[in-house]
Structure 1
């Protein structure tokens, strides 16, 4: 029987989606990797009240280590990760990111693989382009492999220009065991739903594609979920702000409105090829998805048939005035069939499996040759 591969991963949080949009992505990938023969230990700092807002208990498909958000806590976690076959530093841990990016490559041995997994690659690359003194300029070359949450050709080219040995996008996807059609919930019922935390590089686009159309369509009910929108945001009377929506409520949220809106963050929209988790969650629930336009969307869902693409708030208004329940249902059904066929986390995990096993095989070959040469010289 083939031995299971031990992975140590440093990320924001696996057990809490509170101010942590990457949680669904981590869960889908790691659950599927478990089925592929990987034992993942996920190291997350006790920060930002995430442990007080858990969505799930510690899962059976991963070991979770919550460490104190201190220098000593970080160093103790790194020591625990030392013997792993694969050590992963994800972007956006939120605590000691620069230190972890420098320390994780120091765990390199001849027989292990060191990975940087960027869950916000467009923003990382913009930051590096704008700051020649960013410490990650020196660190990126020390990783065996860079995996990204998305980004396609622009992100691959960007990382290669900064010296990455290999960069491969591992896109968001659907976990059919987590996201699926559900009964509507009266709290979330309306014409258009939007779910996303308030972030500086998203807010203007949310106003354009969601809040402005709501103000123009006072007879329709708009439902807004996510953290941060309760402060200093002028909402028209027909916008229902439901606040933070826990992950176990996402299916009901996606199935309770005529359509569900996705709005990308500025950098992801400019870069393209970066479908967020919300796209696959909504499609997996059979929702009629309305998505802001970005390059590469057609690689995942066919505009006009499996997703409704809009380029402005005016287009959102026109779309909602003409959208019928029958049309919305057909679009949602087609999207669900497409993602189940091509865009599940099992698909993504098989790609990660191939990449990591190839890297480990190369390391094992070099280690073996080194031993043979040392023996021959005796």
Structure 2
């Protein structure tokens, strides 16, 4: 298939999780033999922080504006078997309106922020998607599964909503033979709604366990954030260093945004990446997590500071990490996710073909 993505960013992972999600998925699609292109708005904050300017699995193009997108890449979009627009695309509403008339193949949306998107729609905030545009898509692929899929179809009139979780490129995320230097670490961009959980499940733990070492990595944290002396701080960690980072931790912490906890069934790419690297995960609690990783066997769940302290005092991390890695390699690699995407697009093609045949047969019998 010839698939074109229009997304937030492929070239830069700075301050967003979209890039690594798209990279794993598209590498999986490339392995399956599909032809791929990615269209990205050229903006300074990503242009100045690119860590994949020339991908080897797709063609990457930059556009300056919505008219520029249409003028320079209209033929590419029209020739595609499927066009997939991502969430948080700059001027997304205008981009969608401009692309709709061009598409001759399947037209889909990939929401890597579904709970945030629905909260915005409820508030009449149409930053990158308007509610009247949802029925335009043949398939609404959602980072969030569970009951949210039914809600997309019944409340927002999506023609078809499918879960398409993020995934991990197992060739780049694997255990490294490195010394463990941190007892617990966290990797994530600063977020106001995640910060209380980070405080409770890592920073306060560090205060209570001064003989242990901790680390917080990720951009955009307040410059005046106070950390205990035993907590290391890393401003930005490019994906090329993620495997090493996870491999140097005894445990890593997963912290989920409030909207995604409320919706459930919204696994962060960090869960899959850490597990693929053989690093056991301690996570906050949310609906659907145990469907992915059985509690106590493939993941540890903590609600309080005391929970984390007790987990760090145990010595059964290796078995938990091994089980989680098996689950990820079986079901959550980029290639596994690519097969899910292709199967959905192919079933859509079959449905459309049957519909066209039925219409043609009805016309011939008239």
TM-score (norm: length of structure 1): 0.89
**Alignment partner of 2:122 out of 121, 129, 139:** 129
Aligned-pair distance for 1:375? 8.6
C-alpha separation in 2, matches of 1:59 and 1:361: 32
- Give ranges in structure 2 of 5+ residues lacking alignment: none
Aligned-pair distance for 1:56? 2.5
Partner of 2:314: 323
**Alignment partner of 1:303 out of 280, 292, 295:** 295
Q: SS in structure 2 opposite 1:211?
A: helix
Aligned-pair distance for 1:265? 1.1
Q: 1:64-103 residue pairs with structure 2 within 5 A?
A: 64-68=60-64, 70-76=65-71, 79=74, 80-93=76-89, 95-103=90-98
Q: Does 1:291 align with 2:286?
A: no
Aligned residues: 363
Q: 1:228-267 residue pairs with structure 2 within 5 A?
A: 228-229=220-221, 231-267=223-259
Is 1:117–1:148's contact at 8 Å kept on the other side of the alignment? yes
Aligned-pair distance for 1:309? 0.8
C-alpha separation in 2, matches of 1:178 and 1:346: 13
Deviations 1:26-76 (A, max 9, x none): 1111111123342111001111422332223422221111222x3433333
Is 1:201–1:267's contact at 8 Å kept on the other side of the alignment? no
Is 1:101–1:136's contact at 8 Å kept on the other side of the alignment? no
TM-score (norm: length of structure 2): 0.92
Q: CA RMSD in A?
A: 2.3
1:138/1:12 Cα in 2 relative to 1: closer, same or farther (>3 Å)?
A: same
Q: Does 1:337 align with 2:326?
A: yes
C-alpha separation in 2, matches of 1:123 and 1:103: 24
1:368/1:63 Cα in 2 relative to 1: closer, same or farther (>3 Å)?
A: farther
Aligned-pair distance for 1:163? 0.3
Partner of 1:153: 146
- Give ranges in structure 1 of 5+ residues lacking alignment: none
Q: Does 1:184 align with 2:178?
A: yes
Is 2:146–2:288's contact at 8 Å kept on the other side of the alignment? no
C-alpha separation in 1, matches of 2:146 and 2:119: 15
1:35/1:206 Cα in 2 relative to 1: closer, same or farther (>3 Å)?
A: same
Q: 1:9-158 residue pairs with structure 2 within 5 A?
A: 9-68=5-64, 70-76=65-71, 79=74, 80-93=76-89, 95-109=90-104, 112-131=105-124, 136-149=130-143, 151-158=144-151
Is 2:120–2:126's contact at 8 Å kept on the other side of the alignment? no
1:245/1:133 Cα in 2 relative to 1: closer, same or farther (>3 Å)?
A: closer
1:100/1:205 Cα in 2 relative to 1: closer, same or farther (>3 Å)?
A: farther
Is 2:66–2:95's contact at 8 Å kept on the other side of the alignment? no
* Comparing 37-46 and 95-104, the one that deviates more: 95-104
Q: SS in structure 2 opposite 1:281?
A: helix
C-alpha separation in 2, matches of 1:37 and 1:107: 25
C-alpha separation in 2, matches of 1:13 and 1:132: 21
C-alpha separation in 2, matches of 1:376 and 1:132: 48
Partner of 1:358: 347
Aligned-pair distance for 1:305? 1.2
Aligned-pair distance for 1:89? 0.8
* Comparing 347-356 and 127-136, the one that deviates more: 127-136
